[in-house]
Amino acid sequence: MPHTIPACPQCGQENTYPDGSNYVCPDCAFEWPQVADATESEANDAGDGAVRDANGNPLADGDAVILVKDLKVKGSSSTLKKGTKIKSIRLVDGADGHNVDCKTDLGSMLLKSEFLKKA
């Protein structure tokens, strides 16, 4: 098999399977995009420096975005829910790929563009 399916990054189980453009873990119900790594490397290879959303659309300062999955907030018991609209984002060069600065109901935070789609 030329392409191996990775273990779940959330629970570490190896029962994952592809479903459309995502991988799915049946043990903990975690889903993550198959092409996130490829999209980031393509953007870096292109050298255009554009920050792209989960669908590959370029993002700009002031755009409105929608979360494509539930995100747990580190250091808190809160969760940002899938489908939440976030207005007036600001693009930053953050650590660990957190390249979108925004204000949510839970306060100001940095998010990864791979979990957002342009509204």
The pLDDT, as a whole number, for residue 6 is 80
**C-alpha dist (Å) from residue 62 to 44, 57, 66, 88, 101:** 23, 15, 13, 4, 10
Task: Give me the architecture of the 51-118 domain, per CATH.
Answer: Roll (2.30)
Query: What pLDDT, in 10s, does the model give residues 49-79?
Result: 788 898 889 999 999 999 999 999 888 899 9
The pLDDT, as a whole number, for residue 70 is 93
Contact between 89 and 59 under an 8 Å Cβ cutoff? The reply is: yes
The pLDDT, as a whole number, for residue 96 is 81
**Per-domain residue ranges for the chain?**
51-118
Quickly state the pLDDT bin for 36 (edges 50, 70, 90): low
What amino acid occupies position 16? T
Element (H, E) at 1: none
Tokens of 81: 């829910």
Proportion of the chain above pLDDT 90, given as a percent: 39
Say which residue, 118 or 22, is predicted with more confidence: 118
